[in-house]
Amino acid sequence: MKETDPEASAKVGLLLSYVVLLLFLTGLGCEGEHMGPGTPGPEPRAAADVRARGERQKREAPSRSKQILFGDLHVHTTFSPDAFVMSLPLMGGEGAHPPADACDYARYCAGLDFWSVNDHAEGISPQHWQETVDSIQACNAVAGDPSDPDTVAFLGWEWSQVGSTPETHYGHKNVILRDSAPDAVPARPIAAPRPEFRVPLMPLTARLILPMVFFSERQRYFDYSLYREEVESVPFCAAGIDTRELPADCHEIARDPKELFAKLDQWDLPSLVIPHGTVWGLMAPPRSNWENQRLPDQHDPDRQNLIEIYSGHGNSESFRDWVATELDAAGNPVCGEPTESYEPCCWRAGEIIRARCEDAETAECDARVEEARRNYIDAGVAGHYSIPGATLDDWGECGQCTDCFLPAFNARPGMSAQYALAADFQFGFIGSSDTHVARAGNGFKEHARNRLTESKGAVGRAAKIIRNDREATPESIALDLDSLPLQARRNVERGSSYLYTGGLAAVHAPSRDREAIWDALERREVYGTSGERILLWFDLLNAKEGVAPMGSLVSGMREVPRFSVSAVGAFTQKPGCPDDVTETLSPDRLRQLCLNECYHPSDERRSIDRIEVVRIRASSETNTEIGDRIEDPWRVLPCPSGGPACQVEFEDEEFMTMGPDSDGVMVYYVRAIQEPSLAVNGGGFRCERNEKGECIRISPCYADDRTPLDDDCLSEVEERAWSSPIFLSSGSS
């Protein structure tokens, strides 16, 4: 007879006790409550305040016929599974933020002109989808005159695809719908096939134990369990059936962009599909690039005409010619070589093990180093667990773009906007927040790091679960990636230093109504900012049909192109909130939702320091070097006045060397760079460097209680705006 392990028996007994107690509490009425959409505030913003937005711009650009409107097209509420988890006490969360909170934050706290809801489709039950539709309609009903609303709310969702290899990875895309009327809305959102996210992110044992650990807040965990059941109970839709013929109460999947576009074609409703967070290494595998989306029907240039160049997950603009891994002659991934500005983390893994060798010059040590690099690569995004006991100082700046503006963590430059443009994707640019606490347009003031950014993590004892606190060993370990919970695979400790307040989308529109905003998005007369409300115009002055604004595709150009750039710095902010907001919202609502801070512009603007011009030669050929066709910056134009307003012109005499019959497209876009100011997590790892400039010690901004909650980790950055490109061809098409 097998001897019983007393310690194991005690653990089983304790777990059973928790289960019995949980059942007892459930019997007393401690059941989950359905999380509803909430109710938006009852009043629009004061008409005078809304009117003043346009009047202030008119003073800066009196000859412009279009107003610049600011919005956020990437907003998650706690209808998203990851957002729900982040709202729990375990993660230091502050409770539910349903769609009504997003509406109120956009309207009252951020003073946005437009915004959209984009919860993860894999976590939206049929009831939550209908409640989302109803909430967007309710938000718009408060906005006043539809021809001159205080804010426009768009309906949408996120298609959140992640491939395990570069060939199968397409990335996350937001679907935005023009209309929200009952007869103009799909019956259900369309998700990517991500079963690990469809069933929201918490194992059974945790759901049993956490209500006991956080007993005073146990209701949130019961609510979460009910939310999980609501999502899990929805059956998958049958494959191969027209989406319009499917029942409303099934979970619909599109495996790749081709299938997503086909299903949207079946609905035949005006929609946009906007890729986002494309270079974020927590999602994109090493060596990912845009090549697989050049394949037939994997790109829809009419719907997918914009890309989110910046969000709270960092900058997706810049291409670099380094890679985390390369392929050997047999097609197997091997660790890339470090460069002056980039060190692959697989390489660093080997160096950590080398430092643990008794004699670093032996063949045995070399073998351990190579094994460590292989183990890191094989573990994918969980590679940091393959080196037991490695500290954050051990890893240093590996994996990071050290010369990028507010870079995405573990950047994958093959998925950058610049790569896409060079590969002949004709994208316009927007910025957005990717907030998961319903705080649309949250970048107007740099504060409240743990409330406004995704830099939040487990608290207390739970925080230690994600740490690599095992004893250091002389050898690395091989990991079975599938055995690790999804959240445990991510390098949350390091990634928390690369999470920011969000960006903004800006449109040039003749009026404030829904149709005017939508038309600007469709024609790419848009730009993105890193959160500041910088005014920006970028025009081709001598197009055949007259002045062509940003986003234009101009063919048949037979003379030297001349361009004009005008930029005006963002307003500095006054503390607190405008009077009309404090008169509308209660003190509790101001504190709970707005954190007692709103978009509250002063009369002073920040200076624009310079204009940077990027030139890219686009090509549909796949056998040309991408980096050779990207010139960044092509030109740097100082601002003559040194003040808030900057106006410069430039021309490109080299354009004519393309030849009048060329089918190639030259792409131009500009960055308006604002004077330095403080930003949350602006310093990344905040490296201490030696005389060679090498990072020898880091001071990370932790997501958990190792960094004080009131430490916003502020460092100086140069906030900026990115114009949409102008696409210029000397040929006829």
| pLDDT score recorded for residue 27 | 44
588 Rama class: left (phi>0) / alpha (psi -120 to 50) / beta: alpha
The confidence score (pLDDT) of residue 17 equals 57
Burial string for 292-306 (b: 16+ CB within 10 Å, else e) reads bbeeeebbbeebbbb
Angle at 636 between CA 648 and CA 442, to 5 degrees: 85
pLDDT for 569: 98
Q: What is the C-alpha to C-alpha distance for residues 87 and 220, in angstroms, rounded to an integer?
A: 9
Are 320 and 405 in contact by the 8 Å Cβ rule? The answer is: no
Q: Which long-range contacts (CB under 8 A, 24 or more apart) does 36-39 make?
A: 36/98, 36/131, 37/79, 37/98, 37/99, 37/100, 37/128, 37/131, 37/132, 37/134, 37/135, 38/98, 38/99, 38/100, 38/101, 38/135, 39/100, 39/138
pLDDT of residue 653: 94
Could you tell me if 678 and 715 are in contact, meaning their C-beta atoms sit under 8 angstroms apart? yes
- The pLDDT value recorded for residue 211 is 73
Residue 210 phi, psi (nearest 5): -60, -35
pLDDT at res. 161: 95
Domain spans in the chain, listed from the N-terminal domain onward: 325-405+466-496
Give residue 200's pLDDT. 60
Residue 460's pLDDT is 58
Which among 271, 274, 268, 237 is positioned nearest to 255, based on CA atoms? 237
C-alpha distances out from residue 410 to 57, 316, 337, 450, 593, Å: 38, 11, 16, 21, 32
Rounded-to-integer distance, Cα 18 and Cα 347, Å: 45
pTM of the entire structure? 0.93
DSSP H or E segment with residue 326: strand 325-327
Alpha-carbon distance of 397 to 284, in angstroms, equals: 19
Q: Which of 147, 123, 282 is nearest to 196 (CA)?
A: 123
- Dihedrals phi, psi of 161, to nearest 5 degrees: -90, 140
Q: Per the structure block, which two tokens stand in for 654?
A: 């080299």
Q: Token pair of 31, please? A: 């059941």
Instruction: Going from the first residue of the chain to its last (733 residues), give the mean pLDDT of each consecutive group of 10, the final group possibly shorter.
Output: 54 56 51 94 95 93 94 98 89 92 98 98 97 98 96 98 92 97 94 77 65 77 91 95 96 97 98 97 90 94 98 97 92 92 96 96 97 93 90 94 96 97 97 98 96 78 59 89 62 92 98 98 98 98 96 94 98 98 97 98 97 95 85 96 92 80 80 98 94 90 88 97 95 63
Residue 339 neighbours by CB under 8 Å, 6+ apart: 322
Per-position DSSP letters for 669-687, written without gaps between them:
EEEEEEPPEEEETTTTT--
Angle at 21 between CA 16 and CA 23, to 5 degrees: 95
Tokens of 294: 């050049």
Cα–Cα distance between 313 and 408 in angstroms, integer?
A: 6
